[in-house]
Amino acid sequence: MFLKKNKKGIWKKALGKTQGKGLCVIAPMADVTDNAFREILAKYSTPDLLYTEFVSADGLAHPTGRKRLLRDLEYTKKQRSTSPVIAQIFSGKPDNIRQGAALVQRLGFDGVDINTGCPSRTINKQVCGAELIKKENRELARKLIQAVKEGAPKLDVAVKTRLGWNEIDISWIQFLLEQDVDMLTIHLRTRKEMSKVPAHWELMTEIREMRDRISPHTLLLGNGDINTKEEAYAKISKYGIDGVMIGRGIFKNPLLFDADRVPSVKERYMLLKEHITLFEANFGPTKRNMKEFGKRIKSFYLMKKFLKVYVNGFPGAKEVRNELMQIHEPKELLDNITATLKDI
């Protein structure tokens, strides 16, 4: 872990570095933006801000759960030196999220984000994620945000949310803007809409005007359905916002943050090989993992899901992918890719 002095205002600095273009940020994605994939992004694509996966602050407060979750809060020097790295946490308990935020600060992250948008029933049952959008939970939401600020006084504090629970609820956005946070990211869909309908970008102007009125210093990011950097900059300039967050777009082009550069076939295989190697070094049956947990800590299946990202966009890709999906051993998959690379 690399402990460096945390400073408030680091995101505004990152915005300044974009020379007026606005922030293009990788969205937090569970089992996607882990230490391995963040390394690939930092090395080859460089989003303006990097995000961890969401991490349970209740789990971090738990004596046994903590050890495993701390692994989700690892990052490398490379990541921190290319972009600020933000840890996303969630909890429905102010004491736990305060402790979680304090830990995030101690670990040296460049900010902390509170998840108030996750639609998963399991998470919502714990009065976490999108459950906090409900009007009856507003006081709790206020306390949670306050607790994070108390826990991590040296860090920038962000909230990521959705537009509403069943219906669009602008009063929720207004409420969040009144909480004086450093950044607010809005996934422009309700919880009910999941990711099934187009994001409501038509509401972005109204929300930006509200931000200008209520909390002009809060950075405002929009999120939903952006697949290219070109689209990202078009949205930023059309709505006058500070940036956008991109999630699933990265599955279509892992290098999109590098000015939409499309990787060659050779590059795709090289990226895949490096990603598998990083994945295994972090989550495979390493000495460290075997000593601490007695097993690998992430299923190799989660890595294989990335085959669709890399083995894609060239003739015959689907057939090759189907073949590679049948390989269950990391070493065998790596050998196969090495052999393919010799022929390219």
Please list every residue from 160 through 179 that binds ligand FMN, using CB under 6 A: 160
Q: Most distant CA pair in the chain: distance in Å?
A: 61
> Considering beta carbons, is residue 179 or 223 the nearer one to ligand FMN?
223
Q: Which stretch binds ligand FMN (CB under 6 A): 95-103, 113-121, 171-179, 281-289?
A: 113-121
| Catalytic sites, residue numbers | 118
Q: Does 247 engage in binding with ligand FMN (CB under 6 A)?
A: yes
Binding residue (CB under 6 A) for ligand FMN from 34, 48, 53, 280: 53
Q: In angstroms, give the least distance from the CB of 308 to ligand FMN.
A: 12
> Considering beta carbons, is residue 54 or 257 the nearer one to ligand FMN?
54
Q: Does 30 engage in binding with ligand FMN (CB under 6 A)?
A: yes
Q: Does 115 engage in binding with ligand FMN (CB under 6 A)?
A: yes
Q: Does 29 engage in binding with ligand FMN (CB under 6 A)?
A: yes
> Considering beta carbons, is residue 16 or 65 the nearer one to ligand FMN?
65
Binding residue (CB under 6 A) for ligand FMN from 40, 226, 236, 276: 226
Token representation of residue 343 = 């022929």
Binding residue (CB under 6 A) for ligand FMN from 76, 88, 91, 215: 88
> Considering beta carbons, is residue 226 or 276 the nearer one to ligand FMN?
226
Q: In angstroms, give the least distance from the CB of 224 to ligand FMN.
A: 5
Q: Which stretch binds ligand FMN (CB under 6 A): 3-11, 94-102, 209-217, 240-248?
A: 240-248
Give the footprint of ligand FMN on this chain (CB under 6 A). 27-30, 32, 53-54, 88, 115, 117-118, 160, 187, 195, 223-226, 246-249
